[in-house]
A and B are shown apart, each in its own frame.
Chain A
Amino acid sequence: MDRRQVLTLMAATAVTVSATGVRALAQAGSGTITFGQSTSILTLDPAHGAFTGYPAGYEAALCLYDRLLDFDASMAIVPQLAESYEMAPDLMSCELKLRPGVTFHDGTPCDAAAVKLNIERMMDAERNPTNRPLWDPVAGAETPDERTVVIRLKAPFAQLPNTLAHGSGAIVSPAALEKHGEDGFRQNPVGAGPYKLDSFAAGQTLTLTAFEDYWGGKPGAEAVVFRFIAEPATRISALATGSVDVIDSVPVQLVEQLAANDDIAIIRQPGLRPIGLALNLTRAPLQDLKVRQALNHAVPVETIAERVFFGFAKAPDSPLAFDTVGHAAIGTIPHDPEAARALLAEAGYEPGSDGIMQKDGERLSLTMFAPEGLFPGDIAVAEIVAASLAQIGVEARISKIERGAYWDQLRQNAEGLGWDMAMFGFNPSNGSGLYHLESLFRSNADDTARPDVWNIARYSNPEVDRQLDRANSEPEAADRDAALAEAQQLIWADAPYLWLQINENVTATRKRVAGVEVLPIVFTSLRNAAL
């Protein structure tokens, strides 16, 4: 195992070096890149709520901060502030060697002591109430010397490198933290990334300038400006006129028009967030596997992906998105209303006088919660699902829930659940399929209470739990993937969701800007962009 990991790391280092080379070539001009963001930046502290609002704050953090480890384009782990890392065979600790001579924007050294302070800060649920599943397994950090950090874990935790590469693993300057305090830091961020803070008007604009002493060489632009532009049409015209160089979240129906402009390049990146309808397994009709399978056969998901999302989406073939680490292709569910009706008949349902299926006098009528504007095309998709279910004699009543109240409506205790089906999508922001499956499908400690993480369907399969435990503790990556594949197979067969689609993230740039990246985890990164 050790040898393999070192090899991966070496290969990854090579990639990073060549990326740096590209940047060096591209940095002929020293311009200002302006990014028109669909969400606004409010705070820039990895703790205390972690870079709000999402994803704008994280996108800025990618330029402002370095982390110990990083993701490459395929979500594999590559080094950043740590030159190398090594998980212990029992997965109970991890030793990291830090890059020498790195300083923060304020000139203080980014050494083992600084890293230790950061790790302890993120462990502290008081100061860092968000991203808990990522940080809870960490027990502490030790610093044998000023370039070595050993992170201790409470239980075997194979995902630690993903946590360190996650946005919340940003390493902040302890001196700046001391100076501005826990409350002041969020507006006065100091990191060790390629750009440093110039000015920040929360909710409006953020201006970063190149950090001359960056360990990776001078960054690709003199300055990066983040501007909040909520309305898609306004973002697009700002890009077309050149008042911004990059925009995110381009509505898929407008891509074609935008692509016709010779000065504009479109970057599309499949996301990691599978959208589906969680099925409330505390409700009698949905406890029947045949009913859940029937629902899945009733909806033309391929057609939705192709027609409604103009091909900028795909129907899933597993509970995990295609590019999530650990994804295994299990199989697609064909649109087959005949099969769906047959399954309902097998489950004991017969059409009633109003055409709706009945069993023991109970109509198969389901309440579907859907938000407006939280997921791509959410209401349109909900309407299509309702119409498709009507075709097999299942009534689906859509209840549109106000955006601000939506997450709370999903995560109720069992008694407070107003829905039979609820639209939901989980974005595994550390890129790990294990994190994704654990969050959604590990049995809740108590199904009547609020779900521990996001198992809102109240799915429980002891064998899945066992495979997830295995995936957390197997020393060999191949065995972990096998356990994950096994879990995906079981979950897919149990169908606790009506699976819908996986959307792509679409960003557009002026062609004069090079190196803009869209990560599968939603973020548009300007870290390696050059102008």
Chain B
Amino acid sequence: MPEAVAGRRRRRRRLSFNLYLWLGGGLLGLFVLLALFGPAIAPYDTAAQDLFALMQPPSAEHLLGTDNVGRDILSRIIVGTRYTLSIALVATLAAGLGGVALGAVAGYFGGLTDRIVTGFVDLLLTVPNLVLAIAIAAAVGASATGLTVAITASFIPPIARLMRARVIELKEEDFVSAAVTTGMSHTRILLRHVLPNASTVIVIEMSLNAGQAVLVGSALGFLGLGVQPPAPEWGAMLGASREFYAIAPHLVVAPGIAISLLVLAFNLTGDGLRDHFDPGIQR
């Protein structure tokens, strides 16, 4: 490949990296700020009700209007960020850890270990992740913890498979064989040589998963399997306002847009990271 063309490609890649990652990262940063300082920023107490101002349309007083028991929707969206964001982040990280551990063990040791782990993971994969999450949330009970566990469990399988495949690839590399011949322990080889070389793929997958986790978390909240009322979780807000859609659409629109924006933030970040790290994919 001539030097000039490769240079152009690199520049183009950097440009798209800038755009996606900056947009996604910026948006995500904004949400993180809201999550951290939500109660301080919110104009009203999220539990404060005004039964004489139910389902008010957006106004100067209530920028996004009030909900079906007269609470300020903007404040609830702002404070609700921390539920959705922390559930998505914790679940994504936990699923990442669990998936990496399972995948690494299965891929590295192979044989019976591989068959058992892969069998288990494949079994989990046969159940659609939302259905699996519903089953787990129903068993654990409606709470933020239950929700997190449910999403974590449903996101472990794809990461585990990805990790396993990558580890099987890496196992054949010379530097791993070299490490084996020097008598390095399995744990050490996995941590020092295999994991760092697999991390790119995993990080990209996880950042894309985070967006998915927001959606699954909100869906479970919508179905009433999320946090306990009156906590302002977005999915639950969407679910509670569904029956008022015909007379007060703003009740549904606000949490809907918030969810979309957060998913967009994660997806842009994920795409940006992929463009940056994975030279195999070119735009």
Q: Which residues of A contact B (CB under 8 A)?
A: 232-233, 251, 253-254, 256-257, 300, 303-304, 307-308, 372, 379-380, 382-384, 386-387, 390, 397-400, 402
Contacts and interface: CB of A to CB of B under 8 A. Distances in A.
B229 interface: yes
13 contacts: A232-B243, A253-B246, A253-B247, A254-B247, A303-B51, A303-B52, A379-B240, A380-B68, A387-B48, A387-B230, A397-B228, A400-B142, A402-B138
B51 A253 contact: no
B145 interface: no
Nearest to A371: B224
Interface in B11-47: 47
A390 B228 contact: no
A134 B54 CA distance: 43
> Which 5 pairs across A and B sit closest by C-beta, in order of nearness?
A383-B230, A372-B224, A387-B49, A303-B51, A307-B51
A390 B47 CA distance: 10
A67 B246 CA distance: 41
Given A400-B224, A400-B229, A402-B142, A254 B51 contact: no
A55 to B, nearest CB: 20
Contacts of B228: 397-400
A384 B229 contact: no
Nearest to B247: A253
A379 B229 contact: yes
Contact of B54 (A307, A383, A397): A307
Most buried by A among B48, B49, B247: B49
Contacts of A232: 243
B55 to A, nearest CB: 8
A386 B51 CA distance: 13
A384 B244 contact: no
Nearest to A383: B230
Nearest to B248: A253
A8 to B, nearest CB: 43
Contacts of B243: 232, 251, 253
B69 interface: yes
Interface of B: 47-49, 51-52, 54, 68-69, 138, 142, 224, 228-230, 240, 243-247
B69 A254 contact: no
Contacts of B68: 308, 380
A254 B142 contact: no
Contacts of B48: 387
A308 B230 contact: no
A531 to B, nearest CB: 28
B69 A383 contact: yes
Given A379-B229, A382-B229, A257 B247 contact: yes
Given A254-B247, A307-B52, A387 B47 contact: yes
Nearest to B239: A372
A257 B229 contact: no
B247 A398 contact: no
Contacts of B142: 400, 402
Given A307-B54, A387-B230, 7 more contacts: A253-B246, A307-B51, A379-B240, A384-B51, A387-B49, A397-B228, A400-B142
Contacts of B240: 379-380
A304 B69 CA distance: 9
Most-contacted residue by chain B among A251, A253, A303, A304 (CB, 10 A): A253
A186 to B, nearest CB: 29
A307 B55 CA distance: 11
B247 A384 contact: no
B54 A386 contact: no
B51 A383 contact: no
Given A233-B246, A402-B142, A308 B224 contact: no
A397 B143 CA distance: 13
Contacts of A387: 47-49, 69, 230
